[in-house]
Amino acid sequence: MTDTELAVVGAGLMGAATAWAATRRGRSVTVLEQYPFGHDRGSSHGSARIVRRAYPDPLYVRLTGRAMRLWRELEFDSGRTLVRLTGGLDHGLGRDPAGIAAVLRQARVLHELLPATEAERRWPGMRFTGPVLFHPEAGTVDADAAVAAFLRTAAKRGAELRPETAVVALEPKEDRVVLRTAEGELTARRAVVAAGAWAAPLLGGLVELPRLTVTQQQVFHFPRHDPHASPWPVTIHQDALSVYSLPGGRDGGPHDARKIAEHDRGRPTTARDRDGIVDPASRERITRYVAEWLPGLDPRPFNEATCLYTTTPTEDFVLDRLGPLVVCSPCSGHGAKFAALIGELATDLATDAGRPEPRFTLAAHLGRADDSLRS
């Protein structure tokens, strides 16, 4: 006897997306989230994440295309606008805009390679040195609103939502899994564990995971000098620093105030020990960066926040099934844009409707040649 067909542990972007995808296929779903829905202690809070097609890796370019279509389906399903296209820029000595342009050309994704002078003409207030890649199919997704939309539409189709219900242990049996909570047990045919930075403590001893490094990251919001200037594209700039920038939405203040952060250099921590204190050295680096590269911004941060990355050594996602457990860890600081697709892929694995992406399997992450880890 099972209480539910599919238990989803965690209601960040990935768990919430899985609930949406599985209920769209008529599955019975229970979502267990240790904190109130929409909390800010994990990786999915805030009003903006970058969505983009430009990756140096054809696999991710292909997946972004599928994800973009599914975001539009979620918008249609929920009646909310979630994705706003601004276009995207890639530049800097460490970024190889021409190489990414070649990958986009191969994937038939519209793009332009511009000299720095032309980019500065088009986007006054931004500075460039080398070639700049522009592609129009990029922008932001509202992360808070997306989590809410996934959960609301899943609940409409019958998902049972249990906020403030921590899963304290998982006990896989052959054809089902028992989930223990303070309120009692739940038995499910499958459990998708989308526990973000809590994945390793919860799955330790049950699943051999790759090294998952949890870091506390910080983001800063800077207002435009001219709040009525045209919005800039989202930007990936890899040079002395690896920096991303995007319109920050509600968190950033009015108009096109920018959310800006370092992709790397987070402080290693754990979900339990993170302190939520912004690293002053990062604030200093980003403030100097803004003064040098983005003279169209007021270089005094208007607002700041912390967030957790859970990163694999290759920055590839983990998405695989082991017995009744689906391990779903798509972060490494770039998972949000794929969430609408990850829900589908996790549901495929939970319902035996599809096989894992070979690069995302536990075996691939652990350097095993085959998929012998999976049953």
Which residues contact ligand FAD (rule: CB under 6 A)? 9-15, 32-35, 42-44, 49-50, 166-167, 194-198, 202, 217, 219, 307-309, 330-331, 333-337
Q: With respect to ligand FAD, which residue has the nearer C-beta, 249 or 335?
A: 335
Nearest approach, Cβ of 368 to ligand FAD (angstroms)? 24
> Is beta strand 4-9 parallel, antiparallel or unpaired with respect to 184-193?
parallel
CB closer to ligand FAD, 188 vs 195: 195
What is the torsion angle, in degrees rounded to the nearest 10, for the CA atoms of residue 43, residue 45, residue 51 and residue 55?
-10
Q: Is the CB of 42 or the CB of 87 nearer to ligand FAD? A: 42
Report, in Å, the least distance between residue 136 CB and ligand FAD: 17
Shortest reach from residue 117's CB to ligand FAD, in Å: 28
Smallest separation, CB 121 to ligand FAD (Å): 26
Closest contact distance (angstroms) between CB of 363 and ligand FAD is 21
What residues are paired with 305 via a beta bridge? 219
Which residue's entry shows tokens 């003409």? 121
CB of 52 to ligand FAD, least distance (A): 8
Which residue of the chain is nearest ligand FAD when measured via CB? 12
Q: Which residues touch 204 (CB under 8 Å, ≥6 apart)?
A: none
Nearest distance in Å: CB 208, ligand FAD: 19
- Please say which residue, 101 or 200, places its beta carbon nearer to ligand FAD: 200
In the complex, minimum distance from the CB of residue 12 to ligand FAD, in angstroms, rounded to a whole number: 2
Distance of CA 210 to the CA centre of its chain: 19
Looking at beta carbons only, is 116 or 148 nearer to ligand FAD? 148
Nearer Cβ to ligand FAD (83/194): 194
Q: Which is nearer to ligand FAD, 14 or 83 (CB)?
A: 14
Q: In angstroms, rounded to a whole number, what is the distance separating the alpha carbons of residues 257 and 279? A: 21
Q: Which is nearer to ligand FAD, 114 or 141 (CB)?
A: 141
